[in-house]
Chains A and B, each alone.
Chain A
Amino acid sequence: MIHVVDMTLLAFLALVAIAVTRMTNLFATSVLTGVYSLLMACIFTVLDAVDVAFTEAAVGAGISTVLFLATLSLTTQREKPQRSPNWKALCVALLTGGALVYGTFDMPHFGDPQAPVHQHVGPHYIGVSPTQIGVPNMVTSVLASYRGYDTLGETAVIFTACMAVLLLLQHEKRRDEQSTVEKKPDKEAMEHAIILRVQSKFFIPLILLFGLYVQFHGDFGPGGGFQAGVIFAAGIILYSLVNGLDKARQIIPPNVLHGLVAFGLLLYAGTGLASLFMDGNFLQYRALAEEATHGEHIGILLIELGVGITVATVMTSMFFSFSGRRRS
């Protein structure tokens, strides 16, 4: 039964990808990319990857669509239509695809428990994680503790990407002539958005509360720092979309935002250093408390908090940078 659902969803995914290629209206293409991410999240759920499905739904169908639409509002909305399909590119793609399909004939079949990938490290982590770390969600225990060093690197990459976007888009163009003009369109926009404003007043606290729940519940169910950060950022972005960028900037000043971006990463690295000062190795959480699993829990809590803070503030500041750029 799972095969049928899986195969149908994958066929839909292929159709949506072809539709994305063929359309020239970039606005519609961005929305289709959101549909693509939603289908991908459903497929991940069917394939038992619930944490990944959560992240893909929040990131792909939420933040990614908003960023693409923000870019399209600053550039063009239509692509120049191609006269005929690019035959050389099609040949190259078909040849590469053919070679890859030839390579898949050596791969293990879908779901095979004897596949090489399930042999050494995976069963080892599944075996020792309940006793060594004691956290029910094994993805969190691998992400935060066994492979914590990788996650530190990934958080540093997200931090660097935020720095790059801020460097590129920080200073708004033509400030002097915009300050009198921009007040009027905002007022009109807000009158039209009254239904959205009333409804968002109900939902934004719930979204932020749900983000906190996902952050701290990541030990027991799907969740953790990455998903919680994205959900938190989505709540703030919703507020900014409905009430205007100026009001959102008053509530969360950009200086505080930039400080928190660095603080999250420092919290993560600081936990590692703290365990170094307490007679352990770098990021060896068992050194943080007397009992080993208690130390692991403290360590996982602190670094997930660091990751959550960094991801939330990175997504928010990237959105503020895109949204604050005036159209030339």
Chain B
Amino acid sequence: MDLIVYYASWALLLCGAFLCAIGGLGILRLPDFYSRQHAAGITDTLGSAFVLIGLMLQSGFSLNAAKLVMILIFLILTSPVATHAIAQAARQSGLEPKVVAEEDEA
């Protein structure tokens, strides 16, 4: 049982790290500001959630796990609002999303 929890926590930690790396790659490579926000959103939500749940599995049923649950709740509540604030500030200062010209479909 302990071994399963150990391997599950490692799998979650590695998945979380991989997702954060993908988010970072997206921030570098995506063409437009608003699409880069989507990439940053992966890092904030799924990446950090996997890392935190992996850490919770490693620390068992203790005060540390309760603190990690609270950190996860705070992250899930604040990161969408932060993304919204950034995107709205960009829209208000006039940054238009990049629109690809429509091709004529046959």
Contact = CB atoms under 8 A, between A and B. Distances in A.
Chain A in direct contact with chain B (Cβ < 8 angstroms): yes
Interface of A: 192, 195-196, 199, 202-203
14 contacts: A192-B88, A192-B92, A195-B81, A195-B84, A195-B85, A196-B81, A196-B84, A196-B85, A199-B77, A199-B78, A199-B81, A202-B77, A203-B77, A203-B78
Nearest to B81: A199
B93 to A, nearest CB: 11
B72 to A, nearest CB: 15
- 7 nearest A-B pairs in the assembled complex, by CB-CB distance: A199-B81, A195-B84, A196-B85, A195-B81, A196-B81, A192-B88, A192-B92
Interface in B49-69: none
Nearest to A206: B74
A210 B81 CA distance: 20
A150 to B, nearest CB: 32
Contacts of A195: 81, 84-85
Contacts of A196: 81, 84-85
Nearest to B89: A192
A231 to B, nearest CB: 14
Contacts of A192: 88, 92
A192 B78 CA distance: 17
A199 B78 CA distance: 8
Contacts of B77: 199, 202-203
A195 B81 CA distance: 7
Contacts of A199: 77-78, 81
Contacts of B88: 192
Interface in B78-100: 78, 81, 84-85, 88, 92
Given A195-B84, A199-B78, A203-B77, 9 more contacts: A192-B88, A192-B92, A195-B81, A196-B81, A196-B84, A196-B85, A199-B81, A202-B77, A203-B78
A196 B77 CA distance: 11
A203 B73 CA distance: 12
A192 B91 CA distance: 11
Contacts of B78: 199, 203
A281 B81 CA distance: 53
B64 to A, nearest CB: 12
A199 B92 CA distance: 20
A197 to B, nearest CB: 10
B27 to A, nearest CB: 13
A209 B81 CA distance: 21
A202 B78 CA distance: 10
B59 to A, nearest CB: 16
A243 B71 CA distance: 25
A229 B15 CA distance: 37
A199 B75 CA distance: 12
A195 B78 CA distance: 11
